Amino acid sequence: MKTRLLLIFLFAGYALSAQTGFQENIVTGEAYTTPSPYLAKAGDVDGDNDLDIVVYGRGLTWYENVDGFGNFGQKNTVAGTTTGPVGTELHLIDFDSDGDLDILGAMGNKFTIYKNTDGSGHFEVSQVFTLGTSYYELNAIPVDIDGDGDMDILGLHSTNSSGPTVYTLAWFENNGLGNFANQQVISNNNALGSGSILHTDDLDGDNDQDIIIGHKNANKISWIKNNGNAGFSALVTITTTAGGVTSIVTSDIDNDGDMDILSASENDNQVAWYENTDGLGAFSDEIIITSDAVGSNALLVTDIDNDSNADIVYTGTNEIGWIAATNNATTFGTPQMITNKVFGVKDVIYADLDGDGKKDIISASTEDDKVAWYKNLDGTGNFGPQIVIARRIDSPDNVYTADFDGDDDIDVLVTSQDDAKVTWLENVNGIGFYGREHIITESVDVGNVPPTSYPADVDGDGDLDVVIFKQPLLVWYENIDGHGNFAAEHTIDNLPAYVNLIRAGDLDGDGKIDIICGVYNANKISWYKNSGSGNFGSEIIVMDTNGNNGSLTSIEIADMDGDNDMDMIASSYNTDTWYFKNTNGSGNFTSQYSSVFSRLWAVYPADMDGDGDKDIVGVSAMGGGSFDAVIWYENGNGLGNFTAEHNVSTLDIHGHAIFAADIDNDGDMDVLTAAGHQQTSGQLALYKNNGNGTFAARQMIHELVNYTICNDVKAADIDNDGDMDVLAIFDNGSTNIKASVFENLGDSSNTIQGKVLIDADANGCSTADPKGSNMMVISQNATHTFATFTDHDGSYQMATPVGNFTTKMTSMLPGYFNTTPAVHTFSFTGVNNNYTADFCVAPTSTVTDLNVAVYPRNDLRAGFYTYYRIVYRNMGTAIASGSINFEFDGTKLGFNYASETLSAQTANTLTFDFTGLNPFETRTIDVAFSAFAPPVTNLGDDIAFIATINPLTGDQTEADNHFTLNQTVIGSYDPNDMTCLEGNQVLMEDAGKYLHYIIRFQNTGTASAINVKVENTLDSKLDWKTMQLESLSHNGRVEIKDGNEVAFIFDNIHLPDSTANEPGSHGFIAYKIKPLNNVNVGDVVNNAADIYFDFNPPITTNTAATQFVSQLSVAETDAAQFNVYPNPASSLLNINANTAIESISLIDINGRMLQDLRFSTPTLLAQIDLTAVTSGIYFLKIKSEKGIVTRKIVRK
């Protein structure tokens, strides 16, 4: 029987389709969009030591910096999209002192605290405060008002319910754990009116935080002195001439030791500063820095050019600039442009996004829904072009594949209508992660005419430029450096008619790329001769309007007649299809058309029947008539004589694009269509070629309803794995807007999915019950067995072929649980079927059963940091609470930190409390130590780590409540290794227990590893059905095939290289597994792994060999001759030996001798009384005539 075990982490858009499977990866669209991004902040949200971006607009989101180099993934939603007001305050602060960043956000008349629950960017609402009634005058900022070391919240709001407006300034005290008391009013003074900006700093040098207020509608800036102990003085006016103040910052701009105030104002377009003249909060009149900050909304003061002077970064309506300050702000330079590709910019921040030690500029702008960053090139004020993080496309209509940056992978060019944008998305890892958007041209004006684009090497310099029609101009943009940076446009022609089609190719055989254009509403086709270096001649007509009013929808060029020059084919969706023969290879065309090939929206040249010439494949878009079809026309003699029509498929929806490629790697050309209608759905479909021009039934790759159209489709090997992936765009004008790559997964099958719930309250399973995590589910028939583990939420999914299957929970489920139903039975008669099989697991008795294990994340080396992961799990029937003691040798190691809060600590023991541990739930704790340098900790020292999970009393299997890890201090090490924690020998009496394995890997290359795969072939003496995944260092999935071929797959983890981020360059896999029950003395279990970093050859680990023995060898031989019982013990402990015992010492974990029994006459029987010692781990040192051995014991 073949077996296949799959641990599947679900992907959005995962589709299993007939014969070929596809996985959707969104390139751009709503998955990357935060509507109207008003504010942005940078911080390490997910704890991976790089800076992510949090965005607040109409929705609160964050974008992961996936590799530390400024490449960002899709948005992670904290609070969903709204149609009301935008966010007006955004701050990242560790409110609860747990070491991770929480969020303070204000929107409308509420501010909300979102706590980072796990340090990985999973946020939950902690508190919401609703204040006042004015939706646009609530401010909330974090500040330590009372000087107690934690961050409180300062708020300003107004109320206007039934009388004059009342303005309130108040603060909310933090109890140190991120829980805030109700407001304490500072002032209800109406002089607070029109307050729209809050800022705090120490203005008077007394080491507490004073309050600064910007009154936008009153053109005023004022401040309030903090007298200490949360007492405040009256409001003091600084100026009344700040014309519509929009931003306030503080800085010691004149380097005189006190904090000055700077402001930006939108009414007078000014950036100004106010000198703190005495260090006590007396301010000068405004000193204007510039009056060119048109419509300024944001201000930043920092040393941009590294000259120790605080420079000014400001925003205009559609630009960001900076002004250099010199001589302690006595002089300012002229404004220097950073970018003018922002529309309605509202925020600007300064942070090092790419980890190069230089801070970059980040902007948020609302009118183009854009958050972007600008690389600091040299630290002297020079910034690179715009790189978009949060991005939007409006009505995308065309997509192309091209390598714009010369790195030999497939980038994507997208043209969209409503924002008149042409943009390219960078394939940053070479395998389909599009982490950067580069905009070539865009507009946010109302009534944009949609642009048209096409990639081509116009100037013959070996890189791809872009040809664009922006009515009325036909232009091209030069790729100036071969890395995708585009210069200003070069005009080819001024055209009154709308050009909807552009193609490029050498039409006249002179080796230069010419340009072909098609006019939609006139059926006109023309071309422009490239005379060299991107200089073009006059328009050359191929097909004139001639009174035609048919709509031209498709042009392609190819050698259709086998004479080695470029011909043309074209179609009009409501009239004809044309073939234009290049008669002499010089660009002179004669045409033939056929009304038989009529009403095709799109045509494409491809060899459909494998005879070596180009046929024509087309898709119709008439809608509701007999012409709705996918068809191809045979090139009868290879000379461009198109005769027979062959049907590929009927089509019940309007076709929009067609492409041909060998999708299934069988040597023939398959067909892809993009189709859709606003009243039905958008459809991306595949038609597989049987090899002779006949086709299998349509396979739907992706379908979106709700008035969606699939506008375009292409195919290319996006992920460099040797097969053709599919690229398509969808649009419905609102939510279903995206460009996506559908990764070709090869053959696919059916899907079994479901959820496992634990009936903890014995009243039947409901969604409120605990979720059964990490539980094995098995599907099998007479030939195959498939299995998977449930995810953290109890869900699972697995793929199966055609056949009759039964699905059930694993037989390894503890006997005190019953499963309802016991089994699901179903039959798959075809592919692309889905079956849901849910299970309810109910306890039959009350059982307490906890277990714990400790895994070393690296080797123990004197003078270096060492890291451990404690893994604990509830195998009982009830929700558990308790504690974990972690004992270590405090004379050899110094404790550094733990990922969870300590409840107690001594010199040698750490204690962690836990609550609410559900049945089958697994949790982890990471602990770090520093090993003392020699002579304290020395090479060869053996150091023990002991974990104990409580409560012990009443536990079903008390033995696995303790775990001992023994490590030897080493010198050099291999960062890629396999270790069995039980060592190289296991007593035969322990053969029924788990073996614990850890596979460790490190990227020691020179660039980040996007994907890591670890292949691990299980020894035939291991029982795969008992395998339990304990922990992974990164998100991943596990596949086990045929019972022994295990693959741990980490996709898109961007593992840093050791030179860029040594701590982050490591990863690990921890699992436990039992031997088969028929192992014998002398059997050896071997275990090794092959580690693949991206497409590099594998690194093979050492082989961890573990032998089953009747007695332990070398120093442990004597220990095997002693029977110590009962263990654990509460009072008397018996020692039975077959060699005479001379002495017994009882030693605690700290090495202190508690009892020392010496026998004048050596004995074979001895007792030791444990009643005088507390519960815990101890060691017996037993001396006999054969030497000294040590045994671990547990005092209950």
Q: Is 50 exceeded by the pLDDT of residue 7?
A: no
For 1147, residues 6+ apart whose C-beta sits below 8 A from its C-beta are 1153, 1154, 1178, 1179, 1180, 1181
Instruction: Please give the residue that has the higher pLDDT: either 1025 or 606.
Output: 606
By three-state DSSP, how is residue 1085 classified? Answer: strand
Amino acid at 1016: N
Amino acid at 29: G
Q: Is 90 exceeded by the pLDDT of residue 1057?
A: no
DSSP code of residue 346? E
Give the Cβ contact number of residue 915 at 10 Å.
9
The answer as to whether 131 is a domain residue is no
The answer as to whether 995 is a domain residue is yes
Mean pLDDT (whole number) for 726-752: 82
By three-state DSSP, how is residue 1121 classified? Answer: helix
The answer as to whether 245 is a domain residue is no
Q: What is the pLDDT of residue 133?
A: 67
Give the Cβ contact number of residue 1116 at 10 Å.
16
Q: Are residues 1010 and 1086 in the same domain?
A: yes
Q: Are residues 925 and 803 in the same domain?
A: no
For 477, residues 6+ apart whose C-beta sits below 8 A from its C-beta are 440, 441, 465, 466, 468, 486, 487, 488, 489, 490
Identity of the highest mean pLDDT range in 821-835, 892-906, 1047-1061: 892-906
Relative to beta strand 514-519, strand 123-130 is: unpaired
Confidence of residue 745 (pLDDT cuts 50, 70, 90): confident
Q: How far apart are CA 1008 and CA 1015, in angstroms?
A: 20
Mean pLDDT (whole number) for 733-752: 79
* Long-range residue pairs from 958-962, CB within 8 A, at least 24 positions apart, any chain: 958/1128, 960/851, 960/852, 961/850, 961/851, 961/852, 962/852, 962/1177, 962/1194
Confidence of residue 163 (pLDDT cuts 50, 70, 90): low
Q: What is the pLDDT of residue 157?
A: 87
DSSP code of residue 343? S
Q: Are residues 1102 and 1160 in the same domain?
A: no
- What the block records as the tokens of 911 is 């204690």
Q: Is 60 exceeded by the pLDDT of residue 386?
A: yes
Q: What is the pLDDT of residue 346?
A: 92
Q: Is 70 exceeded by the pLDDT of residue 576?
A: yes
The answer as to whether 1139 is a domain residue is yes
The overall average pLDDT reported for the chain is: 87
Instruction: Please give the residue that has the higher pLDDT: either 876 or 545.
Output: 876
Domain of 1018: which CATH number? 2.60.40.740
Q: Is 80 exceeded by the pLDDT of residue 747?
A: no
The answer as to whether 1044 is a domain residue is yes
What confidence tens digit (pLDDT) does each residue in 62-101 have?
Answer: 999 998 999 999 899 998 776 777 888 999 999 999 899 9
Q: What is the pLDDT of residue 14?
A: 32
Q: What is the pLDDT of residue 792?
A: 78
Q: Are residues 854 and 801 in the same domain?
A: no
Mean pLDDT (whole number) for 170-189: 92
DSSP code of residue 1009? B
* Percent of the residues in the chain that have a pLDDT greater than 70, as a whole number: 93
Residue 809 domain boundaries? 750-843
Mean pLDDT (whole number) for 928-951: 89
Domain of 771: which CATH number? 2.60.40.10
Q: Are residues 861 and 913 in the same domain?
A: yes
Burial 355-393 (b: 16+ CB within 10 A, else e): beeebbbbbbbbebbbbbbbbbeeeebebeebbbbbbbb
Q: Are residues 837 and 951 in the same domain?
A: no
Q: Is 50 exceeded by the pLDDT of residue 6?
A: no
* Percent of the residues in the chain that have a pLDDT greater than 90, as a whole number: 53
Domain of 1128: which CATH number? 2.60.40.3080
The answer as to whether 1155 is a domain residue is yes
What confidence tens digit (pLDDT) does each residue in 966-994 have?
Answer: 998 887 667 899 999 999 899 888 898 99
- What the block records as the tokens of 1040 is 């086990």
Q: Is 90 exceeded by the pLDDT of residue 893?
A: yes
Q: What is the pLDDT of residue 733?
A: 66
Q: What is the pLDDT of residue 17?
A: 34
DSSP secondary structure, 8-71, as one string = ----TTEE--SSSEEEEEEEEEGGG--SS--EEEEE-SSSSSS-EEEEEESEEEEEEESSSSS-
DSSP secondary structure, 1034-1045, as one string = SS-EEEEETTTE
Confidence of residue 193 (pLDDT cuts 50, 70, 90): confident
- What the block records as the tokens of 727 is 């690229």
Q: How far apart are CA 615 and CA 1088, in angstroms?
A: 53
Mean pLDDT (whole number) for 194-220: 91
Q: Is 70 exceeded by the pLDDT of residue 1149?
A: no
DSSP code of residue 958? G
Q: Are 335 and 321 in contact (CB under 8 A)?
A: yes
The answer as to whether 614 is a domain residue is no
Q: Are residues 885 and 903 in the same domain?
A: yes
Domain boundary among 843, 868, 899: 843
Domain of 948: which CATH number? 2.60.40.1510
Mean pLDDT (whole number) for 330-343: 91
Q: Is 50 exceeded by the pLDDT of residue 502?
A: yes
Q: What is the pLDDT of residue 13?
A: 33
Q: What is the pLDDT of residue 563?
A: 95
Q: Are residues 835 and 863 in the same domain?
A: no
Q: Are 540 and 527 in contact (CB under 8 A)?
A: yes
Identity of the highest mean pLDDT range in 107-121, 130-144, 277-291, 725-739: 277-291
Q: Are residues 900 and 988 in the same domain?
A: no
Q: What is the pLDDT of residue 9?
A: 29
Q: Are residues 1106 and 1127 in the same domain?
A: no
Query: Total structural domains in the chain?
Result: 4
Domain boundary among 1112, 1139, 1173: 1112
Q: Are residues 1148 and 1050 in the same domain?
A: no
The answer as to whether 348 is a domain residue is no
Domain boundary among 1112, 1132, 1148: 1112
- What the block records as the tokens of 949 is 């999970």
Mean pLDDT (whole number) for 565-584: 90
Q: Is 50 exceeded by the pLDDT of residue 3?
A: no
Q: Are residues 893 and 906 in the same domain?
A: yes
Q: What is the pLDDT of residue 624?
A: 41
